[in-house]
Structure 1
Amino acid sequence: MKRRTLVGGIAAAAATAAASGTAAPRRIGMSDVERLRERFVEIIASDHRHGGQLGIEKRAAVLADDALTLQKASSATQRVRNSLYASAAAFTSSAMWAAIDGRRYDAAKSYMREAQALAEMSGDQTIKFRIWSHAGTMYRHMGRPADALAANDVARNLHLTRRDPLFASLGLARQGAIQGTAQDRTGVRRAFEQAQETMLRADPTDNRPVWMIAFYDQAELDSLALSAHLALGDYPTAEYHAHRCLSALRPHMVRSRAVATTRLAHAQLGQGDADTATATAMAVPAEAAGRHPRVTRMLEKFGSALATTAPRSSAVQMWSEHTAAWRANS
């Protein structure tokens, strides 16, 4: 995969020092790692606001190359080298997630393989968890629940989940979402009961990576439960979790709000309430409806289901006019 490198001044400075005939190679330290981590925070923020965009994927991939360029160009302690590999793995996992969210699965699988190798070299269990957990989500979206469970189990079996209940909770919640796809009602109920109990045991003051702090909370647990019960066709329970999720979502979770709102519309339509469901679907911001591949596809499915459920209703005409408007502006 060809990527442009040297976006920031960090790698450029290191390469310049290495090329000089008189200057000694600059020693890379944790201050350089911290600069990369600041860029990672920016990637996380972009993902939560926009999600699935090719631009986010490419920026994350370039920054992963920056981290690896530092490895090649300079001297550093083993701690710094491990941190650079962890940063490269983190950026690559963000590129992977953007590709998953944008339904670019071939690219996502390529990033996954690269991220897994980098994570092994880093020795960082938190990033290993993120990558394998993302892999489980990828296979779930692809309709491959057996592969999804296998990948998610790798994440759940890391020693990290025995030390930190919050990671254990996320692993269980994602297991529940996968079991929804597999139509395992008993598994869904058990997984979310355990995920909720385990979350309550987590110490909120523990030091955790920014990507975990930024998204996993009660709202995300309810979002995964919403997905599972929607897949099972349990629409009242799905609606219950949708309202819980939407009421608890933090302001920066723009993409997650669009996804949950769209799923709520499906849950309401599944209960035969076409008018309320249409009003809910119309509340999804036009930017997400027209530019986020996952949201766009779910809304297209909503339109098809609406036409089948209430073919002669005024809701169908309202939805048709609404979608024509946001498609024209996307």
Structure 2
Amino acid sequence: MTGNVSLSHAVNETGFTQAELADAVNTYLWNRGHEGTVSDRTVRNWLTGRTRWPHARQREALTALFGRSAGELGFVAPACRQSDTNEGEQPVRRRDFVTAAAGTAAAAPLITARPSMVGSSDVIRLREGLSDLVQLDQSQGGHGELEQLALSGAKRTLELRDQAATQRIRRRLFAIAADYTGIAAWSALDAHRLDHTQTHLARALHLAGMARDPVALFQVWNMYAMLCRQRHDFHQAADSTDAALATTITRRDPMFASLAHARAAINHTHLRDRPAALRALGRAEDALGRAEGSNFARPNWIAFYGPGELSAITAVVMNATGDPDQAEAASHQALSRIPDALRRNRAMATTQLALAQLRQGDIGQACATADTVFGLLPDQALPGRLRSRLDHFQRALTTSAPGSKTSRQWSDRYRLERSRT
């Protein structure tokens, strides 16, 4: 028994899995008031040629989904029925042609009115667009152009949802739209455009809920925690981190759990609970150890997180809790581990290193270290979050060494760099 090559080609072109094709046919039948009983096994029988002539309603659904007749899809009517079938189809097609020519579009054949269907291959292409934006963020940081590109991607994705071949594809489109909107929110957050961040996150949360996607939900709550910290609403930041920890992805993948615990450590620091912050760092390290070597499929936006980023977060906690020597050690460790391509992340870690050196009284070395930040992001605007950290360093420098030549020289350099943004 040979397989149905024509149907196999049509399925491959649209990117359907067997389960998705079964869902699509059943959805078509349900929408027309019929019972949908197509299963993976039914589709497999079509593909293998075991079923050579599906039920009439199933043939109608397949014709609508692929825009091809049953014969073009490789199906063959039993010999005893071919003549009856051909004779029965001709008058209908003639009537459709005459009526359509008279202007009655409703009588046109279903195949000509079929909209293009969105399947797995379209989902893959849309996700490739997400990867491009993540790379742009990693090289340049958050900025207005990235924010607008992400919002455009979300808009294009949502325009396709009514053409989804299955309900599963529709949910995946909602998830991709949530991811695009999340990138827009992240870009606004990194640029310190907090009102824009709030608006985008509210939209992303709605889309993630529609998608029922725990990864998208985690991303939104993670960014909500960061937004609340930038607004100095530390209790709300803690609540958002708790929501991130409660998503199902943190139970399935320790990488997400580690990131959430690391964010919780920063929240505890701002709430002046050093023991809780240290416990959270310990949990983050334990979870990261379990995550290393695992083969989970993860979105590329979380690729920034690893041992280097956890060391950088440790430096933030140690600087804030009055342990500048440990903060310096953690910063050096972070810079030895953060990939060179993540220039913004390296610049943030370098600023923490400069602050740790300043708090140990080494003013000259601190200013020299802070100077290297500008070389990490040459000829481009400093992201808003980085400017905020450098502002913090400058205030600490002015307090530690008011009026010193080194302090004045660095402040002049910083004002010059800021004027270019």
TM-score using structure 2 length: 0.70
Equivalent residue, structure 2, for 1:309 = 400
Which residue among 160, 172, 185 is the counterpart of 1:70? 160
- Taking the TM superposition and a 5 Å limit, the aligned residue runs for 1:1-330 are 23-72=113-162, 74-202=163-291, 203-212=293-302, 214-285=303-374, 287=377, 290-327=381-418, 329-330=420-421
Residue type at the aligned position of 2:118: I
Q: Once the two structures are superposed, what CA deviation does each residue of 1:126-184 show, in whole Å capped at 9, x if it has no partner?
A: 11111111111111222111101101111101222122111111111110111112121
Task: Give per-residue Cα distances to partners, 1:165-224, cap 9 Å, x unaligned.
Answer: 111111111101111121210011100111111111124322222222x21100111121
Distance 1:154 1:301 in 2: 29
Distance in 1 (alpha carbons) for counterparts of 2:359 and 2:261: 26
Name which of structure 1's ranges 230-239 and 252-261 shifts more when overlaid on structure 2: 230-239
CA–CA distance in structure 2, aligned partners of residues 279 and 323 of structure 1? 12
CA contact (8 A) 2:218 2:247 kept: yes
Give 1:328 deviation, angstroms. 5.0
Cα distance change, pair 161–301 in 1 and its aligned pair in 2 (3 A): closer
Provide closer, same or farther for how the CA distance between residues 40 and 290 of structure 1 changes in structure 2, counting only shifts above 3 A. Answer: closer
Distance 1:280 1:67, change over 3 A: same
SS in 2 for 1:285: helix
Q: Are residues 123 and 278 of structure 1, via their aligned partners in 2, closer, same or farther at CA, if it must alter by over 3 Å?
A: same
1:271 CA displacement:
1.3
Specify the alignment match of 1:13 in structure 2: none
| SS at 1:311 equivalent | coil
TM-score normalized by the length of structure 1 = 0.88
| Residues 43, 290 of structure 1: alpha-carbon distance in 2 compared, 3 angstrom cutoff | closer
**Deviation at residue 23 of structure 1 after TM alignment:** 4.9
1:148 to 1:328, Cα distance in 2 relative to 1, 3 A: closer
Which position in structure 2 is the counterpart of 1:18? none
* Superposed displacement of residue 75, structure 1: 4.0
Moved more, 303-312 or 112-121: 303-312
List runs of 5+ in structure 2 lacking aligned partners. 1-107
Query: Given that residues 347 and 373 in structure 2 are in contact (C-alpha distance below 8 angstroms), is that contact kept between their aligned partners in structure 1?
Result: yes
Whether the 8 Å contact between 2:334 and 2:349 is mirrored in structure 1 is yes
The one-letter amino acid of 1:256's match is N
Q: 1:319 to 1:75 in 2, by over 3 A?
A: closer
Shift in alpha-carbon separation, 1:127–1:75, aligned structure 2, 3 A = closer
Inter-CA distance 244–70: structure 2 relative to 1 (3 Å threshold) = same
**Structure-1 separation of matches of 2:320 and 2:190:** 18
Q: Larger Cα Rg: Structure 1 or Structure 2?
A: 2
Quick check: 2:189–2:385 contact (8 Å CA) kept in 1?
no
2:382–2:418 contact (8 Å) kept in structure 1: no
- Report the alpha carbon displacement of residue 324 of structure 1 after superposing the two structures with TM: 4.5
Contact 1:166 1:199 in 2 (8 A): yes
**Using the alignment, how far apart are the partners of 1:178 and 1:169 within structure 2?**
14
Structure 1, unaligned runs of 5 or more: 1-20
Distance 1:323 1:120 in 2: 43
Distance in 1, matches of 2:419 and 2:228, equals 32
Residues 237-265 of structure 1: CA deviation (Å, up to 9, x unaligned): 22121111111001221110111111211
CA RMSD of aligned residues (A): 1.9
Provide the identity percentage: 36
The DSSP-based 3-state class of the residue aligned with 2:346 is helix
* Count of paired positions: 309
Say whether the 8 Å CA contact 2:157–2:176 is kept in structure 1.
yes
Q: Determine helix, strand or coil for the equivalent of 1:283.
A: helix
User: Counterpart of 1:43 in structure 2: which amino acid?
Assistant: L
The whole-number CA distance in structure 1 between the counterparts of 2:192 and 2:133 is 18
